[in-house]
Structure 1
Amino acid sequence: MNVIKSEHAYGKNVLPDQDAGSNFIAIRSLEPTNVIMYLVTTFLVIGIIMIYSTSSAKVTDSTHTMNTAFLRHVMWVAIAIIGMLIMMRIDYHYLQKYSTAIFIIALAGLVVVLIPEIGTVTYGARRWIRFGSHFGYQPSEFAKLAMIIFMSGYIAKNLEKMSTFARGFVVPIVLIGVVSLLILKEPDFGTAMFISMISFVLIMVGGTRIIYVMFTMIASIPHIYQILHNIPTYRHNRLLAFLDPWKDPMGIGYQIIQSWIALGS
């Protein structure tokens, strides 16, 4: 495999050779990226420390020096770092080329997980596709990345038409709506809101007229009210616990109070 040199990732409008064929690995100096790299590393370290702290109480047998939850977390962190380093070296123009295929795969996963014979129900939500007893795939997590890649590719291809009603508003809204509704069916309200907000930010930055977005937000108010009105008990309790955990310190407020104690100690 040949290797091409790419500088466009750092703000220079130097595009790779479009006829490079399989030459999709870019050699990059990693110097500037590295505010993001430091932030990611910091959050990973904090997460590892917290997982170790919260799960160390499970180690009751003196023959076990580390618990399973901690080791599993470290394993997935290592896999994630390897994936991140690989993605850093892939020319993002190739992601744009395959953005539609990535989106279709994500959409298929969101449909398949809703099939009772395939999707696994955990804590009342059908969010996982299990492979054996130890491994699973959560389509909504992949959909986050897929939606960002697809919407970015769509905006890049239609940049001059993003101010129009059809290309700049109707098409993105329909796609955002389909993905969000499938995720809400699991149900996973948080992920649906996350994907919707990120997608709205992308199309606004991409050139969609603000009036269209404002109209959508206003039109969504009754629907949002309906969702909040029918909010499940556990979500209602989370909100109450956040507002006043001391109202029920041994019940719904217990976890928040314990987290304060942990931070204080």
Structure 2
Amino acid sequence: MADIRRRHFVDGESIGAIARELRRSRPTARKALTTLTEPVDRRQHPPLPKLGAFQAQLEQWLERESRFPRRQRRTAKRLFEGLQVEGYQGSDGPVQRSVTRWQVRRGSHPAITQAFVPLAFPPGETCQCEWSHEEVELGRVVQTNKVAHVRLTDSRPIFVVADPRETQEMVFDAHVRAFACFGGAPQRVVYDNLKTVVDAIFTGKDRQFNRRFLTLANHDLFEPVACTPESG
């Protein structure tokens, strides 16, 4: 939904063009323009009516063959044929997708590679947001305060605000003040996986962002981006 709002309000794309490219219906695209809250997908695990009974067998094969030399491991097609012998009557598509998901979870998918590119940013396109812990003396009492640093990546101007805690309200307040200082919101904001911003870290760049935080991002029309842990 956030992508639809940014493409329409920031990039000026029409509802029809967005619906065609994202393969959404026009009513769905229009609804996204008037709603800030991200929809909740209550299907935690998509149904696999035919493969479900064979999922444990498939993962057992994958786990066992992961210890074999690569040339001795069965491809997804061969695993599909093996499941057919066991009685599987579905198509090979769910098997292919299940094998890919298992490889991604294990970090063994061939598409997972690391790449590094030079850092160059257009003016106002990206900013970085992170927190530091600073000791201050207030009324002769030394205490640790959380300091938000919001920096534009092109010309490097920085906005700094200190708060007693790193709660979500303080994060939102830091964004509102920083955008007011800069004269607007950038297209992207990069985070170092703040717990108040990111609920769960998956493989690569895939993240589950906090729903209340996404409401802020949808309102200000910026794209949140999380860094890869322990990587430059």
The TM-score normalised by the length of structure 2 is: 0.26
From the two aligned structures, give the one with the greater helix fraction: 1
Which structure dedicates a bigger proportion of its chain to strand? Answer: 2
What TM-score do the two structures reach when normalised by structure 1? 0.23
